[in-house]
């Protein structure tokens, strides 16, 4: 399953690396891709864990953008 988020505070490759490392701690996460210019985080997972990933992003300092 692929889940995508638009998040705040992604400013550089270091931010992208922190997101990839943080989300990859969950064994159900197969792959994480971060597009720094747009703040788009794409996650390939085993199962529907979108809510948990959203909470993990928030805890890492990258909350989901609000409209």
pLDDT score for 19: 98
Choice among 21-25, 51-55, 63-67 with the minimum mean pLDDT: 63-67
pLDDT category at 66 given cuts 50, 70, 90 is confident
The mean pLDDT of 27-42, rounded to a whole number, is 98
Q: d(Cα 51, Cα 11) in Å, to the nearest integer?
A: 23
Q: What percent of the chain has pLDDT over 70?
A: 99
CATH number for the domain running over 2-60: 3.30.70.100
Cα gap 13→48, rounded to integer Å: 27
- In tens, the pLDDT along 1-22 reads 999 999 999 999 999 999 999 9
């Amino acid at each position: 399953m692929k889940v995508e988020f638009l998040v705040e505070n992604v400013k550089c490759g270091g931010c992208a690396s922190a997101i990839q490392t943080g989300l990859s701690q969950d064994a159900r996460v197969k792959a994480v891709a971060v597009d720094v210019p747009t703040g788009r985080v794409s996650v390939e997972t085993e199962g529907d864990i979108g809510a948990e990933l959203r909470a993990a992003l928030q805890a890492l300092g990258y909350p989901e953008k609000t409209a």
